[in-house]
Every structure is written in C-alpha cells, then in structure tokens.
Structure 1
C-alpha cells in the first residue's frame, strides 16, 4: 500500500505536465474535485492539486520540446546525487541533474534503460504528498515496459525495489515494493507492454491510478470534460473496477474503485 511514511524507493510525489495548465486544472477539478494552489511567482506556474487542503499531486506547464503531456511519478531518495549516479551505473539516463528546489528538497528527472522518465525527490522541508488511497488520490502505479526483467533489475539497483508475482488466469503480474518493506508495502506493478492491447503501439511509460468511488460515473464525467476513454470500465477479481483514461491534452492515467478487502479467515 501507499503511505506517507516514506521510505527509500517509495512513491512520494506525482505531477502532470501539460501545455495548458489552466485547462488541466479545470479538467481535474471537474473530475476529482481537486483545487489548485500556486507555488508562487518564483515557481514559474508550478502548483499543487489539493483535496480538503491536502496535496494529492502537482501540475506544471510544459513546452513542446519537453515531450508529450504526461504524468511523472517520483520516488523517495535519501541522496539525490547518489541516486543519479546509480542510474548512470545501471545504464539509465540523467535527464535533469539533481537540483535544490527553493529549500523544499532536491529533485532530479531520470530515465530507466528503456528511456522511461521518472523523478526522485530527496525531502527537505517538504516530505512529499499528503495523502494516498482515498478517493481522488494516487492508489497504484504501473510501469509499462518492453522488458520486465531489465526494468526490475534496473530499479533494484537504483532504488532497491523488490518484486513478487501474483498469478492470474491469463498470466503473471509482477508487483514491486520498497527494499525490506515486505509485500504489504506493494505500491505498483511492472506490465509487459506487448501484453496489453490498450497499449498497442505505445511507448513505455508510467501509469498512475487514482482511487474513485464509482468507476463508471468517473468515466462518464471524463467524457463530458473532454477526456478520452482508452479502456472502458472492467472488473478485475480481488482488485476492483478499473478504466484507463487520458485528459484533454493526452496525459494518460487510470481510475480504480478498489474491491473491498477480503474477510478474515479462520
């Protein structure tokens, strides 16, 4: 599960980059009820999406040369410089070297061996997001990758991630958790890009999932707001009801109405 008791390698930040930040703010306000608070004039338009005063994500305006609109997941690092060096040693790429962010912490944008961008956040005054796993907040992450073994090896070397497997009727799902935290701290999965028909022709990428109270109603609302439904709602046994969407500018994400926990046995 995701938690604000951040440990090394755990997700601790999430942001969407959009060419039209005001439009993105309107979309996510209508979809999830998020408010938006600017980080101030010195932050270049950067700001925080909030629910009841708690930060659930961030948003920034991006230029065409910064890549397509997308969500970027960040992971906890105790030493941003050391993590960036580990990325290079593991044959990844440092896209933006570590930098101090107004005394709030240090960040860097990196890429794995397949070229998929991700961020790291070394906390200073700001530890990370304020809430997870409530409706309107991040509840899961998936990496769609052409080579699961290579991705698992890379992130084990860089962030210490451990993997475990869940068997389903149509295959095996690879889950990840922070080093030494156990399977109870699973926060995401690694998915073979070629195995998902929704992702046909897609480049590898990170997909954030947001918890919702009603998947079908959220999908209908996304359509009304100009979003795209990439995968219609479907039920996954013991997981919940999911759907894949994109905002009006093309940033991809998913929503999940989690299945209730199984009753205790014995």
Structure 2
C-alpha cells in the first residue's frame, strides 16, 4: 500500500472527460474503467493497478474559473486533523473535509503560496505502492512555487518530507529535490523550483512514466495535444517532455530512454 503522507492518487478535472480519457489511454497506455458511483468518474489503470481518475470540472469550480488540470492526493490518516494542520502551517482550505462513500474522507487545500492539492484518508484498502518509474504511474512530482524555500518548509512541517540534492539552475535558481520520508535510504520523488516563465500561478505538476519519450511525443501530437518543449535529458539520464492535452490541461512525461 502507499505510505501515509505521500502522493498516491491523481485526478484530471476536464471539460471533456470522454475525449481526455481516449487521449491519455493512447499516450500513457492506461486502461479505462467507469466508477460505479453516483457521480460520473472514469478510473485509469496501469497494468491493472489504479493510478487516478478523470471527471468533469464540477459546477462550483467552473463558477470560480477553474480550467482543465491535474490534481494530486496525499494519503493521510485523518482528513480533519490534516486539514487543521494545513491552516496551522500557513496554508488554506479550499473545500472542507467531507466523505466520499466507499472511498474515504477528503479535503481540498492550498499551500501558503497557493498551489492546490488534495488529501484523502481512505476507508477502503488502497492500491499497492509501485516503484517510482513504473510505466503508467507517476514517475516524478514537481512544484512550481513563488517561494520554494517557504514552500518546502510547509510540506516538511505537514508531511515530514526531507530535502535531497539541490541543483543549481543558473538564472532559474535552485531546483530542490525532495524525498517523501526522513528515512535517509528513501530516494528523491520530486523537485521544487521557482515559477518559470509562462507559469502564472503556483501549481503541482506530475510526470507520467512511459517507456520511450520520442514515441510518446508522436502519440501526443497525433492525438491532438501540444508539446511545449522538445524532449530534454535530465540529470540521471531520464528524458522528459512537457505538454498540453487537447482540452488544455498541462501534463508531463518521463522515460528512461529517448
């Protein structure tokens, strides 16, 4: 099972769930499965294991200008206690804790700089944990923040995350890697950096793992998506690409080879 205080589920809220599902099934290799609940929700799976879901943007979110985008869930033991800890650490509550029948209790929150994420205390057994670069799963987590140092301090206080290596990115500042545990043997699972040009507000981004980046780029473009930058090799030898899906949601891919 996924460890407490780690990202473990990812939802896409979009203007066209059916079209988005078909796009990602082709690009990432997911299978799609309708959730048997009252609200239309499509679960996405990689090799039979749940990764996240796709749903229409809720009306209340549309009313405040929400656009298509991915949101990540951090697993917690108690959603109410975790929400109180968010405000105590300087964050804010966007949606108070409430129950999802047969799933758990969740809350929508922001860190002090405004990046939105969710927390979920599952009531049912969750999906098993998988190694970081398993195809179809999230291989990297990235926070774009107006103040990465204060942002890291917030997550360290809230979830016990630990700093790993820091990379000097020149004019773009420091790229701070983080581990989701204070265990010294736990490797980095993501990075935090200052808002780059073209990213207007603090936000979490997620890199889905695929087997090879060039073939995935072809699937993005042929499926109606748009590549925002050409494939780039990153420290450690992996290849990444950032893109927009046909509905305008940002996503990224990571692969061990080009």
Structure 1 length as normaliser, TM-score? Answer: 0.87
The reply to whether residue 58 of structure 1 matches residue 56 of structure 2 is no
| Structure 1: segments with no counterpart, 5+ residues | 260-266
Alignment correspondent of 2:240: 242
Shift of 1:201: 4.5
Shift of 1:120: 0.8
- Superposition map of 1:62-211 within 5 A: 62=57, 63=59, 64-65=62-63, 67-128=66-127, 131=130, 133-168=133-168, 170=170, 172-182=174-184, 184-193=186-195, 196=196, 199-211=197-209
Deviations along 1:172-219, whole A, 9 cap, x unmatched? 4211223423352421111111xx3xx424221111001111111111
Give the Cα–Cα distance (whole angstroms) in 1 for the partners of residues 198 and 20 of structure 2: 26
Instruction: Answer yes or no: is the 8 Å Cα contact 2:49–2:127 preserved in 1.
Output: no
Aligned to 2:42: 47
Alignment correspondent of 2:28: 32
Q: How much is the aligned-residue C-alpha RMSD, in angstroms?
A: 2.1
Q: 1:88 to 1:25 in 2, by over 3 A?
A: same
Greater CA deviation, 144-153 or 175-184? 175-184
Report the count of equivalent residues.
Answer: 251
Q: 1:181 to 1:128 in 2, by over 3 A?
A: farther
| Alignment TM-score, normalising by the size of structure 2 | 0.89
